[in-house]
Amino acid sequence: MDRKTYKRFADAHAPHSPLLKNCFNAFWTGGLICVLGQVLRNVYEQVAHMPEEDAGTLTSVTLIFVAVVLSGVGIFDRIAKVAGAGTLVPITGFANSVVSPAIDSHSEGLILGVGAKIFTVSGPVLLYGTLAGSIYGVVYWIVCQFAGRLL
């Protein structure tokens, strides 16, 4: 079977996803996570009388903790099945991408299981994010050096 025939076969048998519904679910779920983060931050600032920076840090820690617990008990995956990309709001999605491989590989032991596989999903994000940031920084520095000589 050649590629074109296989593609036609796969397209004919693959379930079609409702694009508008998926976008709507991702939008409201991601928005709800962001609203939760803002509510937590406001509570930490106004009720606990924390400085802005500390409230922001504790908000991040709380969202990570909630995502880890929900991943651990299997609820995060059920939410992600409905919400799709809405659960990829950076901090909760990243927490899930670290915890899920750890949970899946815990039966293989702490070193060869969890230790070796914990960053299989998030590792490329860290690597290429750091690489892209470094390249951007060098380009920015060069542009600033060049622009400084022109002015």
pLDDT of res. 151: 61
pLDDT at residue 150 in the model: 67
pTM of the model: 0.72
* Beta carbons within 10 angstroms of residue 63's beta carbon: 20
CA–CA gap between residue 46 and residue 52 (Å, rounded): 10
Evaluate if residue 94 carries a pLDDT over 70. Answer: yes
CA–CA distance, 93 with 30 (Å, rounded to integer): 10
Q: For residue 94, give the nearest of 112, 108, 76, 73 by alpha carbon.
A: 76
The answer on pLDDT for 95 being more than 80 is: yes
pLDDT at 55 over 80: yes
Q: Closest Cα partner for 92 from 28, 21, 30?
A: 30
